[in-house]
Amino acid sequence: MRLFIAIKFNAQVINDLVKLQAELKDCGAEGNFTRPENLHLTLAFIGEYGNPYDVLEVMETVPFKPIPLRFECLQHFRDMYFARIEHTPELESYVRRLRRVLSENGIPFDRKKFSPHITLIRKVSFRDGILEKVPENINVKETVAAAVSLMHSERGKRGMIYTEIGGIDGD
């Protein structure tokens, strides 16, 4: 079972991110746009793991308090565009504690440096070879991460399908 731990967003933030995707399309961006229901912030990518309930048990041992999140800018990296989240010490501290406890309990995860972002487009290309004008202000409302979710990822006919298995609400 392919798993990851993430923060899901409320309808207003999803709507703002979808508008940002539309702005990128208007500027000439083409590619695999992340479907609205799949927009999230990954905290730890676990990958293939047999028992998701073991992961949930470990998650429950790491206290989570709601964390305010601000969207900082739009970034292009390799063949992706994403919305970057502003430096947030509380979020970074939570992710360090979460990853330490996963490691201590033998749950494997991708150990890449945590870089808080929401992927908007993968395999991006540009009409006429260039992006006409990148939106300067991303206009995504500040939000509060109120919960952390354990997600299951599987390939469907129209791309990836993410299903929440369980989660931890903030205190």
pLDDT tens-digit map of 41-88: 999 999 999 899 999 999 999 999 999 999 998 988 888 999 999 999
Task: Provide the pLDDT for residue 152.
Answer: 94
pLDDT range class, residue 4, cuts 50, 70, 90? very high
Q: What are phi and psi of 143, to 5 degrees?
A: -140, 175
DSSP state of 36: G
What's the pLDDT score for residue 129?
A: 65
Region of residue 80 (left: phi > 0; alpha: psi -120 to 50; beta: else):
beta
Confidence of residue 132 (pLDDT cuts 50, 70, 90): low
Say what the pLDDT of residue 8 is.
96
Question: Tokens in use for 159?
Answer: 């791309």
Encoding tokens for residue 118?
């929401």
Global confidence as pTM: 0.92
Q: How far is CA 67 from CA 70, 111, 150, 155, in A?
A: 10, 22, 17, 31
Q: What is the mean pLDDT of residues 110-132?
A: 86
For the segment 14-39, the average pLDDT, to the nearest whole number, is: 92
